[in-house]
Amino acid sequence: MKRDSGSSAMAEQQKQEEKLWRAVKITAYVLGTGLLMFTALVNAFSWYAQNTWDILGRFCQTRWLEFYYLFEGDEWTIFLLGAGLVPSLAFWCFNGVLMVADVTGKPAFITRYRIQLGKNDPVDTKKLRQAIYVALFNQFFISLPMLVPMFSVMKWWGNTFSKELPTFRWFLVELSIFTLIEEILFYYTHRLVHLPLLYKHIHKKHHEWTAPIGVVSIYAHPAEHMLSNTLPVLTGPMIMGSHIVSVTAWLSLALVITSISHCGYHLPFLPSPEFHDFHHLKCVWAPLGFPFPSCLRPGTADRQNALLRVEWVCVTHAQAEKSRQFARQPAERSQFSKRFERDGDFGGLQPTQPQPPPCHLPPSIS
């Protein structure tokens, strides 16, 4: 009896070992097959990406050489077209679409995302013409002359008009450096023009538009346009001695991005300009991401109230981003906008939605 039970136990143990060994073999087979397939896919994708990269690189290089020889290597003409004409076309083409929406209220897939309801619906055509005149003046009589010393700096570097294009990887590195330099310079020059004296005589012109539109991005006093709008953007390429193709792409991108910041619409898949709309509506100076933020609102002597205004905007903006009420729920936005317009100060407004985590301001400005 004992012998039978012992043999059955051994048989059961042998079966368990066989099952375990079978499971190990199946697992090894699945993992091995998966690893081989993954390796094959990675190699195929790497080959495809590298092949596409090489084809695209040769295409861009060929087109660049054709363009270069078309103008017989005339560096000033090439520079004027690349740093002046192409970015300006990018700016006016993008803003042309926005101005059609501002004037006609169509197409609805743009106007439905208006941030400040009831504003620029439609836009005041007289103010719009004035903004266009100022923008054109700044481009022709401020930005364009600033390209002359920039051209001299770029020629000194000797790389700007090279027949060989920079690699795409190097362009991404340059783009990161351009952005960092531009953000730092713009931050401090913008703070500078928010000082009461400079605001009154210079920056106030830009804030005439409490509900901005895209073209207002360069609607500014000539001194501000030179110091705060143009110089920060040109400094990066001058420091890096970048290729003219990189300069063209960067200047076009910078002009389109600043237009998005002022467009007045929270469009899908684009950065939200809501916070900058608040800045124009109540002249609140509360930028994020850089040290020492403060409120430099002209005429505000009570610094504590200024900080409260900054904190209120941080909180309500966080709520707006969380609930998408400014861009996705017109009825709620309308109710909020009425309260926002009725109260003359941020202190009189109490957000109705649940409070998000508090916006902690750096102790350096308290």
Instruction: Read off the pLDDT of residues 190-233 as tens digits, 9 standing for 90 and up.
Output: 999 989 889 889 999 998 888 889 999 999 999 999 999 999 99
Using alpha carbons only, give the angle 21, 25, 26 rounded to the nearest 5 degrees. 115
Q: What secondary structure, in 3-state letters, does 209-226 show?
A: CCCCCHHHHHCCCHHHHH
pLDDT value at position 350? 44
Using alpha carbons only, give the angle 151, 171, 240 rounded to the nearest 5 degrees. 40
Distance CA 35, CA 328 (A): 44
Model confidence pLDDT, tens digit, residues 75-115: 999 999 999 999 999 999 999 999 999 998 888 888 888 88
Of the candidates 144, 69, 88, 116, which has an alpha carbon nearest to the alpha carbon of residue 282?
A: 116
Using alpha carbons only, give the angle 87, 280, 286 rounded to the nearest 5 degrees. 100
Q: Which two tokens stand for residue 21?
A: 């060994």
Q: Which two tokens stand for residue 118?
A: 């009831």
User: Is residue 296 within 8 Å of 340, Cβ to Cβ?
Assistant: no
pTM of the model: 0.69
Of the candidates 273, 285, 252, which has an alpha carbon nearest to the alpha carbon of residue 327?
A: 273
pLDDT value at position 141? 96
Q: What percent of the chain has pLDDT over 70?
A: 75
Q: State the burial class of residue 1 (Cβ atoms within 10 Å of its Cβ: 0-12, 13-18, 19+).
A: exposed
Residue 196 has phi, psi (to 5 degrees) of -50, -45
* Amino acid identity at 36: L
Distance CA 50, CA 22 (A): 41
Q: Tell me, what DSSP letter sits at residue 245?
A: H
Q: Tell me, what DSSP letter sits at residue 161?
A: T
Low-confidence ranges of the chain (pLDDT < 70): 1-7, 283-366
172-183 CB burial, b ≥16 within 10 A, e <16: eebbeebeebbe
User: What is the rounded radius of gyration, in angstroms, for the C-alpha atoms of the chain?
Assistant: 29
pLDDT value at position 286? 43
Distance CA 103, CA 123 (A): 5
In terms of residues, how long is the chain?
Answer: 366
Of the candidates 274, 122, 325, 146, which has an alpha carbon nearest to the alpha carbon of residue 222?
A: 146
Of the candidates 252, 254, 271, 244, which has an alpha carbon nearest to the alpha carbon of residue 181?
A: 254
User: Is residue 262 within 8 Å of 217, Cβ to Cβ?
Assistant: yes
3-state secondary structure of 14: helix
Distance CA 366, CA 362 (A): 7
